[in-house]
Amino acid sequence: MEKIVFMGTPDFAASILEGLIENYNVVGVVSQPDKKVGRKQILTPPPVKKVAMEHGIKVLQPTKIKDEYQEILNLNPDLIITCAYGQFIPKIILDYPSFGCINVHPSLLPKLRGGAPIHKAIIDGYDKTGVTIMYMDEKMDSGDIISAEETKIELTDNLEILQERLSVLGKDLLLKTLPSIFNRTNQRIKQNPDEVTFAYNITKEEEHIDFSKTKKEIFNQVRGLNPIPGAYCLLNDEVLKIYNTDLSSNNLLKDKKIGEISNIDKRGIGVKTQDGELLITEIKPFGKKRMLVKDYINGIKKEDLIGKLLK
């Protein structure tokens, strides 16, 4: 049976690896190095490494793969599959396997090339996204398309929900596509350069909420960053994380300033945006746990927040 090396790091890739192990001969896994996590800074292996270890599969964790690739070649893979690995793969690796190197990418290429395609699909208001399996080349997510499958983005989707759905979609599509790769009957479709968009990794600036935007734009931003890294604003100069919002029908706030808290009740915190009121329904105040606004208001004086500006 053909020997496969899998390269990936986060949860999204881990579930795809699980499906691959059940059906094919995975001889090695390459993942990013362990990282210190949490307040206690505990050294923690990435999800893909955990899956590989559970199945007794050799794990390699090069700090810089462009300099530390020989052990990967020593596994003598017939095919390399990457999924959210996190480093650019050098040409010497791309050229090695007889069946090439393929990537499982969570967008409908050529749209949303880059490291945060699921975040950006929601933030940018896409009505659909999907998974593409493509051959890898030296440029970012620019290789020939082998197969793709789409899914609708629902208004109830956040990053976590959509990521889980795309992971299942990616696993199923990969298993459906691999036979055609191994018997060399798969298609190769060039990407249209005129349709390329990018989804670079999320910056701290993109996490900050600008209330001068429309309420729909903020609604999309919040769910596209939920649960990680989370959107935020400042209340009394302290960080207020916002995890869920609702689109209010109240657009008559002419006497309010942008970002001003217009109302607080068990439904949420109403805030003035460019085109009306946005209801904030789930938050994490500075130094406290994540909570619903209806629980938050039990411990505060609402009149102390009415008229405050979220910045």
Tens of pLDDT, residue by residue over 214-241, are: 999 999 999 999 999 999 999 989 999 9
**Stronger pLDDT, 23 or 248, i.e. the higher one:** 23
The CATH number given to whatever domain includes residue 125 is 3.40.50.170
Residue-level pLDDT at 274: 92
Q: For the whole model, what pTM was predicted?
A: 0.93
Closest CA to 182 of 310, 54, 4: 4
Residue 296 lies in a domain: yes
**Whether residues 119 and 20 fall in one domain:** yes
SS3 track for the chain? CCEEEEEECCHHHHHHHHHHHHHCEEEEEECCCCEEECCCCEEECCHHHHHHHHCCCCEECCCCCCCCCHHHHHCCCCEEEEECCCCCCCHHHHCCCCCCEEEEECCCCCCCECCCHHHHHHHCCCCEEEEEEEECCCCCCCCCEEEEEEEECCCCCCHHHHHHHHHHHHHHHHHHHHHHHHCCCCCCECCCHHHCCECCCCCHHHHECCCCCCHHHHHHHHHHCCCCCCEEEEECCEEEEEEEEEECCCCCCCCCCCCEEEEEECCEEEEEECCEEEEEEEEECCCCCCEEHHHHHHHCCHHHCCCCECC
Q: What mean pLDDT, rounded, does the chain reach?
A: 93
**Whether residues 295 and 182 fall in one domain:** no
**Whether residues 141 and 110 fall in one domain:** yes
Query: Can you read off the two tokens belonging to residue 271?
Result: 């805030």
Whether 122 and 163 have beta carbons less than 8 Å apart is answered as: no
Backbone angles phi, psi at 12, to 5 degrees: -55, -45
Closest CA to 129 of 141, 113, 142: 113
pLDDT category, 60, cuts 50, 70, 90?
Answer: very high
Domain encompassing residue 239? 204-304
**Whether residues 152 and 265 fall in one domain:** no
Q: Please determine, for residue 252, whether its predicted confidence score (pLDDT) is greater than 70.
A: no
Rg, Å, the chain Cα set = 22
135, 169, 195 - which closes a domain:
195
When divided into structural domains, the chain yields a total of 2
Residue 57 lies in a domain: yes
**Whether residues 273 and 208 fall in one domain:** yes
Backbone angles phi, psi at 233, to 5 degrees: -140, -175
Query: Can you read off the two tokens belonging to residue 240?
Result: 């207020």
Q: Which of 143-152, 232-241, 283-292 has the highest mean pLDDT?
A: 143-152
**Whether residues 98 and 210 fall in one domain:** no
The dihedral through the CA atoms of 294, 297, 303, 304 has a sign that is negative
172, 195, 218 - which closes a domain:
195
Provide the CB-side half-sphere exposure for 235 (13 A, CA).
Answer: 18
pLDDT digits (tens, 9 = 90+) for 97-144: 999 999 999 999 999 999 999 999 999 999 999 999 999 998 899 999
Closest CA to 143 of 185, 193, 106, 182: 193
Residue 144 lies in a domain: yes
**Whether residues 28 and 173 fall in one domain:** yes
Backbone angles phi, psi at 238, to 5 degrees: -115, 145
Residue-level pLDDT at 294: 87
**Whether residues 231 and 179 fall in one domain:** no
In degrees to the nearest 10, what's the CA dihedral of 37, 232, 128, 142? -60
**Whether residues 139 and 30 fall in one domain:** yes
**Whether residues 29 and 117 fall in one domain:** yes
The CATH number given to whatever domain includes residue 267 is 3.10.25.10
pLDDT average, residue stretch 285-297: 89
* Residue 245: other Cβ atoms inside 10 A: 26
**Whether residues 225 and 121 fall in one domain:** no
Residue 26 lies in a domain: yes
